[in-house]
Amino acid sequence: MERFELHILGCGSALPTMRHNPTAQVVARGDKLFMVDCGEGSQLQMRRSRLSFARLHHVFISHLHGDHCFGLMGLISTLSLLGRTGTFHIHAPAELEGLLRPWLNFFCKGASFQVEIHAFDTRRSSVVYEDRTMSVATIPLRHRMPCCGFLFREKPGLPHIRRDMVDYLGIPNYALRGIKEGNGWTTAEGQVIPHERLVTPAAPPRSYAYCSDTAYLPGNAVLLEGVNLLFHEATFQQSEAARAEETLHSTAAQAATLARNCHAKKLVIGHYSARYDDEKGLLEEARAIFPETVPAYEGLCVPIE
C-alpha cells in the first residue's frame, strides 16, 4: 500500500508565538508531496523534516491571512535557487493572483520554472485537483475572510491478485493486469476461473481533511463522513466559546464534536491561541468527547490509515 501521511511543519496559532510556527502542512501520498497552507518559514521546516522539494508540485492555500500564505515567496525563491524546472501550482482564492504576481515578477524574474495560480470559489465544495490515484476537494468554512478547507481522498484501487491461485494455475504475468481489471482466466483444459476467485478486495480508500481557520460548522459532518484523519483548529477551550464565535474560530470541544459526528477515525487539533502556555487543557477537553485526538506540534508525522 502506498504511503499516505501528514507532516506538520507549523501547527499554527491565532497569534504566532515562539513556541509554534505559522500554519503549514505537507500531505505525502506515494512519491508526491502536497503542501497545505504556507506560513512564514515553511521552506525551512521542510528541510528540517527532510522532505524533498523536488516532489512538491502543488500548494493549497485556505485563505489569505498572512500566517497561512506569507511563506509562499520564501518557498518559491528557494525552489528557484535549487534550479527547479517543473511548473509549480498554487491553488488559492482568486485574490491571490493580483497580490502575488507582482512580487513574483520582481523577486523571481528570470526563474527557470513557471508558477501557475489556480483560483477557486471558497463558497462551495469543488474538486480542485485530481490525478489517477487521488482527488482534492474544497470544504467551505466560515472565517473573517473567504476561507475553505481541503479534503484529500484516495480513489478506489484495483483488487489484489491471489498469488496462491496464480501460482497454482500457472497464470503468466502479462495476464495479471487484466485480471485485476475484471477478467477471469481460462485454463489449457478450457476451465473458466472467474475473476472473483483470483483476487481479494482492494484496501478501502483513505482520506484526510483539513479545517482551519473556521467557526464551528456542524453541517460539515456530511462532507467529512468517515474521514480517516481530520485536522481541525482548536483555538480556544469551551470556556471561551463566546470569544471563539466572535473571532470565527472553534473550541477544542467543538472540533472533537465534529470528529465524533462525522465518524472520523482520528483527530489532530491545532491553531492554538497564544493565551495558553501549553495545550494540555485543549487536549483533555477534546479527548473527553473524542478519545482518538492528538495535538499538533512541529515535526509531527501522522499516518493516514
CA distances from 280 to 276, 284, 293 (A): 9, 6, 12
- Return the residue matching grid coordinates 499538533: 296
Three-state DSSP class for residue 181? coil
- Is residue 67 annotated as part of the catalytic site, yes or no? yes
Instruction: Single out the residue of 85, 32, 90 nearest to residue 56, CA to CA.
Output: 32
What are the b/e assignments for 78-100, b being 16+ CB within 10 Å? bbbeeebeeebbbbbbeebeeeb
Catalytic residue among 37, 67, 164, 167: 67
Q: How many residues does the chain have?
A: 305
Three-state DSSP class for residue 243? helix
**Residue 229 φ then ψ, to 5°:** -135, 130
Would you please indicate which residues are annotated as catalytic (active-site) residues? 67
